[in-house]
Chain A
Amino acid sequence: MKNLFKLYYKAKISFWNTFSTEWKSIKSDKAVISTFLSVTIIILVVYTYIYSNQVVKEVPVAIVNQDATKMSRDYIAMLDATEGTKAISTYTDLQEAKRAYYSKNVQGIVIIPKDFEKNIRSGKQVVITTFSDASNMVFYKRILGDVTTINGYFSAGIFIKKEMAKGVSVAKAQENYTPIQAISTSLFNTTAGYATYIIPVLTALIVQLVLLMGIGILSGSRRETVTTHTNFPRLLHKGGTIPVLLAKACLYTAIFMVIIPIQVGIVYALFGIPVRSSLLLMYIFIIPYVFSVVFLGITISALFKRREDSIVFLVLLSIPSLMLSGLSFPIESFSEFYQLISKIIPSTPGINGFVRLTQMEASFLEIINEWNHLWILTAIYFVFAAISLKIRALKEFNHLNLIAKKEIV
């Protein structure tokens, strides 16, 4: 019993020592402070500002009107009135429109054929030809989507008018035209805004990026100065890594408990990005996320010899982890190998859970899978981090002893 108490007491001391040592090294390291501030706040603001218009509006489209009748002008006016496209009908032929497309004055071309009105009036089908550039998916979707919608409306209008001419009421004619009406409602992010989509993803990704960078820089400088074991003396004792690791994870969790409200409260509010969960739930969710990332950071920092190395590797890691999270390209389309890889990166459940919590109004029970996943990763990386720290401390200790012995000799 006495031993147990002694053990607890020592662990407690070591925990608080680590907590203060790590906090002091963060405070005194200009690089770490600037990384934390610049990435969590400035980068987030810059990205949000880039996407702050949310959707692309008024994509210029060249209209080649070969018909030049009232009906064709009505069609153009309808197309122009859509949110997504701006119809520019000053082009007389395809060649001219093509040149405008080459010089990027327009992003697509729509051709209204000759006899457009005449054929419609005589009950023949007319074909509108469109050219849209799919090398940029945003433009392509806008143009094609709007043309399809307008074609649908225009066709329906003609059909209904014909029915009405037969003596059918408007309502009945509408019902006749679409026996099955397709009603689509988007559950969240109703305007399909880009900022609303990407910023919560980035917020969660930034947690991983900043933590890995900060830990990498700190561990790199301790390696340069050979001070890992002197900073955390309990590392050399049996079981001594446990309080050290826990203290570090708790410290970083505490830091993010300050950063997250700033991000969500100020940046989100400023750019009108919705938040659909309470701060408490976010806190509960990020605990295992921060823990697992901290332990992962300690594990992989064994790879970095210099403090600069970590910055670079981690910048490179961020886009692959974003891709692997499955929120930009659906995860179902990745090969099994990459699906497996994505499961061992904390940001995959971290981003998914955070986005579902804040954007999709998920209750905590609905993201419990991600939460558990993060705890499992925490446990796994804890073991690796403990081994890595232990080896490092022992190595340094032996190294210094060797030097000391040489000096004595």
Chain B
Amino acid sequence: MSKLKPSLRIAKREVALLFNSSSTFVFAIVLPFVSILFFNTLLSEGVARNLPIAVVDLDHTAISRNVIAQLDAAPEIEVNYFPLNQQKGEELVRLGKVYGVITIPQNFEADLKSGKQVHIINQYNSNLLLPGGLEYKAFRKVIGTISAGINIEKQRKQGVSIQQAKVNYQPIVSNNHVLSNPYTNYSYYLNTGFLAMFFQIFVMLTTIYCFGADLKYSKGNKLLNITEGNLSAIIIGKVLPYTVWFLLVGIMTLFSMYVWQDFPFFGNKLAVLVGLLLLIIANQSYALFFIAVSSSFREALTIGSGFAAVSLSFSGITFPIFGMPKVLQWLSQIFPFTHFFELLLDQSQRGFPVFYSLKPLIILVVLCIVPVSLGWFKLKRLFSKGVFNHNI
């Protein structure tokens, strides 16, 4: 017990400081909840519906109007504009008012009735990947269905039964099982990443703040005096209260996703909790490393916040790691978030057996130990000096 006493004093001091310093209080206590609230409410829709599109109808017949009605009935899109020609339609795209322009050519009905092949042209904005892709998919589906209907009708006129006509039209169909996220809900996809990423940014920043603020104002020596020169006691005393607190915040974050928002969860809860704890410790370990190698509080914060922010892109949520250049694939492995995110997805939406999550857990343990060990001697020197090299 006597060995733990200095740590306990530091921890008490830390908690008192937390309620005195407004910035740390905001990072550690206010902002995590703001972020939970923000992301959970922002994407509460999850699935994009009724994206505005424009239709240029050059035919003006019953069939062309029928096509428009069917396009409008597709859940993804909504026909909002009827420009007079294609140029006007493209202008609407550039103005950002619609995501695509569909043109029905002249003589559409007449050609169709006389058995000629007709074209419908869709110009869509694939610069906006998500809505552009949805518009493209909806267009293909609607026109494909109409076209199939006509094909089947033609076959029936030749005396083929409707069942056989359908089979003739589509000898191969696919039965698609969408795993993990069956409604392709973007909230499941993006929120899991954003909330976990913001969470680890808060852990990183709070840790850098609680050390940096002391070292900026030359309190390093004072801390060493309390613990009689024992660095690990300082670290434990300062870091442990936040580890416990962020574990609680992390559980609330997960709770907001899997209970409040009802995201799919099929995996092992314990594995996720262990992963969460390791994510917190790994980030604290990295934070200590950044403090050790920086020459000022500001520098440590810039590096730390940059590291934590970039880890989103390296986790493969926006663009899979698989598709990155090789060097970056290796680099992505040093981010604790990459491994935690993999673990979280495997154990929540994907519902993998726990065995397959051992690898990320082991890597997380390594990432907890290595950074702080690398920075240990520098950290020791820094504390005995008591202040950063530079003040800016």
Mark the stretch among B4-12, B141-149, B233-241, B252-260 that contacts chain A.
B141-149
For B197, give the chain A residue with the smallest CB separation. A319
Instruction: Tell me if A360 and B140 are in contact (CB < 8 A).
Output: no
- Kindly specify which of A3-11, A134-142, A395-403 makes contact with the partner chain: A134-142
A interface list, Cβ under 8 A from B: 29-31, 34-35, 38, 43, 46-47, 49-53, 55-57, 59, 75, 102-103, 120, 123-141, 144, 147-148, 151, 154-155, 158-159, 162, 174-190, 192, 194, 196-198, 217, 221, 305-309, 311-312, 315-316, 318-320, 323-324, 327-330, 332-335, 338, 352, 355-356, 359-363, 366, 369
Q: Does B375 contact A (CB under 8 A)?
A: no
Separation of A107 and B273 alpha carbons in the complex (Å): 26
7 further A-B pairs in the complex, CB-CB below 8 A; given A183-B122, A332-B52: A120-B171, A123-B168, A186-B123, A187-B90, A188-B127, A334-B42, A360-B93
Q: Which of B54-62, B223-231, B294-302, B365-373 forms contacts with chain A?
A: B294-302
Q: Which residues of chain B come closer than 8 Å to A137, judged between CB atoms?
A: 184, 186, 189
Q: Decide: B44 and A335 in contact? CB cutoff 8 A.
A: yes
Q: Chain A contacts of B167 at CB under 8 A?
A: 123-125
Task: Let me know if B22 is at the binding interface, CB within 8 A.
Answer: yes
Per-residue CB contact flags for chain B residues 146-168 toward chain A (1 = under 8 Å, else 0) read 11001100100000000010111
Complex: A180 Cα to B59 Cα, angstroms: 14
Supposing A47-B313, A179-B150 touch, asked if A130 and B301 sit within 8 A by C-beta, the answer is no
The verdict on B43 contacting chain A, using a C-beta distance below 8 Å, is yes
- Bound: A217/B175 CA distance, A: 57
Q: Are B179 and A131 in contact (CB under 8 A)?
A: yes
**B16 within 8 Å of A (CB atoms):** no
The 10 closest A-B pairs by CB, nearest first: A186-B126, A135-B180, A134-B181, A182-B143, A175-B117, A56-B323, A189-B127, A179-B150, A362-B94, A180-B147
B122: which of A125, A126, A185, A333 is its contact (CB, 8 Å)?
Answer: A185
Q: Known contacts A57-B323, A187-B125: does B174 contact A127 (CB below 8 Å)?
A: yes
| Chain B residues, Cβ within 8 Å of A132 | 176-179
Can you name 5 A-B residue pairings with CB atoms under 8 Å?
A: A51-B319, A175-B115, A179-B151, A320-B38, A352-B96
Which residues on A sit within 8 Å (CB–CB) of B43?
Answer: 329
Closest to A52 in B: B325
Query: Quick one: given A53-B324, A332-B50, A356-B96, are A130 and B174 in contact (CB under 8 Å)?
Result: yes
B310 near A359 with CB under 8 A, answer: no
Contact of A133 among B22, B175, B180, B309 (CB under 8 A): B180
Evaluate contact between B129 and A197: CB separation under 8 angstroms: yes
Chain A residues closer than 8 Å to B353, beta-carbon distance: 102
Residues of A within 8 A of B171 (CB): 120, 123, 125-126, 154-155, 158-159
User: Quick check: B174 and A128 within 8 Å, CB to CB?
Assistant: yes
